Structure 1
Amino acid sequence: MFFFRLLDATLLFYEAQRSGRLPSDQRVKWRNDSALLDGKDAGIDLTGGYYDAGDYLKFIFPLTFSLTEICYGGLDFFEGYVLADKTHHLDQMIRWGTDWLIKAHPNNNTLYVQVGISEVDNNYWGPDTGIPMPRPSFFVSNLKPGTDVMADAAAAFASCSVLYREKFKDTEYAATLQRHAEALFSVAETALPQQTYQTVVPAATGCYESTGYLDELAWGAAWMYRMTNNPIYAAKASHYVSEYSKLERGSIILPVTWDDKTGLVYILMAGLTQGTAEGVQWQALAEKFGNFVIHAPKPCAFTSGGMYYCYGYSGDDTSVVAANAAFAMNLLANNMDNWLKNNRYSTSMTNTLENETRGKIEAYRSFALRQVRYLLGDNPEKTPYVVGVHPNSPTNPHSSLAAGGRSTDRIDTDPLKEAHILLGALVGGPDKNDRFQDLRSNWRQNEVYTHLFFFL
């Protein structure tokens, strides 16, 4: 029952992060309608969506990664939502994001990728009734390409299209999402020059800069393949992964973050191509990535308390990297479990092969469980890093929405007690030495983010 309550709390966190005009069935009652003029500068309606973190900025790049992960998790773990009686709230949470993505994609060639600027927003610490202006809107297009963000948005549209078609049985909405996915992926591939989106949206610099676009093209192609079953997209995913490998000289494996989806591409494609010659190659890549995660070689390691930590990636949001790794390993274990079930009576299934496969599955799931337990309190600080689920949970998350203060100079003391409990928020997490300070000003450890969904 605790995990069902935790799942509900996570969904409530997303309700707390809603922007725009709130619906009548909004469960987080202390929130207000907000940012009702978003998009006015561009002559379009960009109200809605989610505030990215502890501030009032809205970004497509991390949001699309979150939505893709959530829809991926919905497909693989839908039974868990059913058992928890949370499919309705999952639907609401996703639609609030995808409906805004639809607004942000007003025509085939244009995608709005950011609302608000950090120079203004980061100087404000106060409630949602006083969000400062200006809140300019920024876009990429076929004439101002943002290859990575367009491909990433295509992946979000495609993955959620599959979820709505197969699980929610809403074929009309699935078809709408599919049209947006196809249009965006086409522009991501054809608009030249191919480049990172901050090249044309410098306002994203210092916020959510992308380090490359090949992983997003591979990620988008993989989900286009999942959505359409058209083998041309499988070939594209393979091509982009090959190009990425050449660029990285084939030896570098990176953790899953909003900026690098390569490991998830391997796992997704391995699951989609089981039983084929291509599937053998994808499975090899997926297991190579799995071994990288569970053994944590450089640049990664385990803290003395057992948290998965990657130098250069975990600094500002250790919880995110650890939780993403746990999610990926659960997906990989599911893939391999399905392969065993489908090949149970195959003459090629020897006892040795079955035992080896079961050993790998156990290793991946064991890793995932250890990380989840760590994040829920089995750590040196005895702190569950999810707000409001335990007496030891953080009580001062870095959230302008929830804090209740109005002074950027007195964040920790005004007020002494956080005005609202931001239930379900996963904070940034401890440092490499497993230490954590529950201070609002400690944004590196205590800020909340919507670019992570806490999967069980």
Structure 2
Amino acid sequence: MLTKIFLLGAATFALLHTGEALVARLEDVPNPCKTTGMKPFDYSQLLCMSVLFYEAQRSGELPGDQRLTWRGDSALKDGSDVGHDLTGGYFDAGDFVKFGFPMAFSTTLLAWGLIDFSNGYSSAGQTNHGKAAVKWATDYFLKCHTGHYEFYGTELAGETAAALAAAYMVFKFANEKRGSYSDSIPEVKDFYKSWNGFGDELLWAAAWLYRATGDTTYLDKAKEHWDEFDLGDPPTEFSWDSKAPGAYAVLALATGNDLYKNTLKTCLDNMRHDLPYTPAGLVFVNDWGSNRHAANLAMLAMVAGKLNIDASTNRQWAKKQIDYMLGDPLHSYVVGFGSNHPKKPHHASSSCPDMPEKCDPNWAMNQDGPNPQTLWGALVGGPSQDDSYSDSRPDYQHNEVACDYNAGFTGALAGLVEHH
């Protein structure tokens, strides 16, 4: 039986927040991320832009060094209904909802990039901004840990343990009080239901906790979960719902064990060769967030390169996937980058015009023309399998943005900066 915890409200963890967006008057400002002249694509500038995107997603009271000045404070009463300060964290996508499950996954990938592609971050001058992006989420997660054993569901506790790679209590609870978090929080089932169960989150958490602490207890747990949930059979995606491929890489990095290296190699080989591609070359995992899935695999391939697993092949493949998103051979899917970038992403606050007062996002999302505010660095969902794509704000399937869309993309960019 699941223990019900009150984190973001007495009824809903997902924080189905319907408040209006606040925007500041926008000055006509250029791209805050300066070009470095890197060819054929400026991966350093793009890394800066991708990290900058997370500033647009911040919830709560914004800091004084906020670079996107068209955003304002928001959702300042989160948690007041249960007597806790639960402000902060990130809005998930183009709306005003905070979902802890994909937020924690996004944070884990952002932190992973800072760990294993630290030279890329340093070279691009983005280390401090990257750390700030991670801290904005982890500060929020720490607020959400309101007491002993207070989390909703195994997947969420496991993913947050991976993101924090810290409190043993969180992981122990996730393992002992098993049950799907979406059973406790039915409101999330239409958005981020854990379709493949919680075994991969337990493996993912154990792998990160072992790497962070060196405590073999976590490695033993990882081995137990590997066997119990038959997680050595590689899945066909790496995403907020499917963590096993990432766990192979983390365990390989932490142990150097050939079992984990070979499983990661098999996983990537299968994905590269068995998954379909668009005619122009994007590996196609799913029609929802097609760019996001390809970017996650690109980051995984860059990590495999770091492990000397078919290093040249994996890095070249990752570069091709990221370059597709940047405009080779078609057009850019990154807002603010390239001459033909998306100008109408499905994103409420950037759809609001310059004004000193409140903006009704429902009204703003239905207006014509480009978004009044440039959502620098946001990676939109991506094309259909035939490469077709229309820069249309109502088309949230292909033109929405999300924290997890940019997460693997950011890590892959850091890897590309490091190796180019």
Same fold (TM over 0.5): yes
Deviation at 1:394?
0.2
TM-score by length of 2: 0.83
Describe how 1:174-185 pairs up with structure 2 within 5 A.
Answer: 178=166, 181-185=167-171
| Aligned 8 A contact 2:236 2:271 in 1 | no
Give 2:202's aligned residue: 217
Cα separation, 1, equivalents of 2:364 and 2:47: 33
Is structure 2 residue 321 aligned with structure 1 residue 371? Answer: yes
Q: 1:254 to 1:241 in 2, by over 3 A?
A: farther
Is 1:234 paired with 2:219?
A: yes
Equivalent residues of 1:404, 1:415 under 8 A apart: no
Percent of aligned positions that are identical = 36
> Which structure 1 segments of 5+ residues have no match?
112-139, 141-145, 159-177, 337-356
User: What residue identity is the alignment partner of 2:205?
Assistant: G
Is the Cα contact below 8 Å between 2:91 and 2:98 reproduced in 1? yes
Q: Which of these two proteins has the greater Rg computed from alpha carbons?
A: 1
- The match for 2:352 among 404, 415, 419 is 404
Query: CA RMSD, aligned part only?
Result: 1.6
CA contact 2:86–2:143 (8 Å) conserved in 1: yes
Deviation, structure 1 residue 301: 1.1
1:204-258 Cα offsets, whole Å, 9 max, x none, are 1101111210000000000110011112211211221222227xxx656221011
Whether the aligned pair in 1 keeps the contact of 2:155 and 2:198 (CA below 8 Å) is yes
Shift of residue 280, structure 1, vs aligned partner: 2.0
Q: Which residue of 1 is the match for residue 13 of structure 2?
A: none
User: What are the superposed Cα offsets for residues 254-297 of structure 1, whole Å, 9 maximum, x if unpaired?
Assistant: 210110010111111112222xxxx12222211111211221x1
AA aligned to 2:290 is T
Query: In the aligned structure 2, how far is the partner of 1:23 from the partner of 1:55?
Result: 21
Q: Which amino acid aligns with 1:258?
A: W
**TM-score normalised according to structure 1 size:** 0.77
2:298 match:
326
The CA deviation at 1:408 is 4.3
2:139 is aligned to: 99
1:121 aligned residue: none
Do residues 190 (structure 1) and 180 (structure 2) align?
no
Instruction: Tell me the residue number matched to 1:208.
Output: 192
2:226 match: secondary structure: helix
Secondary structure of residue in 2 paired with 1:292: helix
Matched, 1:266 2:248: yes
Correspondent of 2:262 among 284, 309, 316: 284
Return the letter of the residue paired with 2:209: M
Equivalent residue pairs, number? 362
Structure 1 partner of 2:235: 253
Higher relative contact order (CA 8 A, sep 6+): 2
Q: In structure 2, how many angstroms separate the alpha carbons of the residues matched to 1:376 and 1:245? A: 37
C-alpha distance in 1, partners of 2:400/2:269?
30
Letter of the aligned partner of 1:442 in structure 2?
A: D
Judge conservation of contact 2:347–2:365 (CA < 8 Å) in 1: no
Residue 159 of structure 2 is matched in structure 1 by 152
Deviations along 1:346-385, one digit per CA (max 9) or x if unpaired, are xxxxxxxxxxx6xx22211121011011111113xx2111
8 Å Cα contact 1:376-1:384 kept in structure 2 = yes
Is 1:443 aligned to residue 396 of structure 2? yes
Deviation (angstroms), 1:7:
1.2
- 1:26 equivalent in alignment to 2:66: yes
SS of aligned partner of 2:230: helix
Question: 2:111 & 2:176 partners in 1: Cα distance?
Answer: 26
Letter in 1 for 2:398: Q
Q: CA deviation at 1:21?
A: 0.7
**Residues 234 and 263 in structure 2, CA contact (< 8 A), matched pair in contact too:** no
The match for 1:429 among 356, 370, 382 is 382
Find runs of 4+ consecutive structure 1 residues off by over 4 angstroms. Answer: 405-410
Tell whether the 8 Å contact from 2:108 to 2:162 is kept in structure 1 after alignment. Answer: yes
Q: Is the 8 A contact 2:283 2:321 kept in 1?
A: yes
Distance in 1 (alpha carbons) for counterparts of 2:318 and 2:266: 16
The whole-number CA distance in structure 1 between the counterparts of 2:100 and 2:205 is 15
Q: Does 1:306 align with 2:281?
A: yes
Residue deviations 1:144-182, cap 9 Å, x none? Answer: xx0111011000001xxxxxxxxxxxxxxxxxxx2xx31
Query: Does the Cα contact within 8 Å between 1:403 and 1:415 map onto a contact in 2?
Result: no
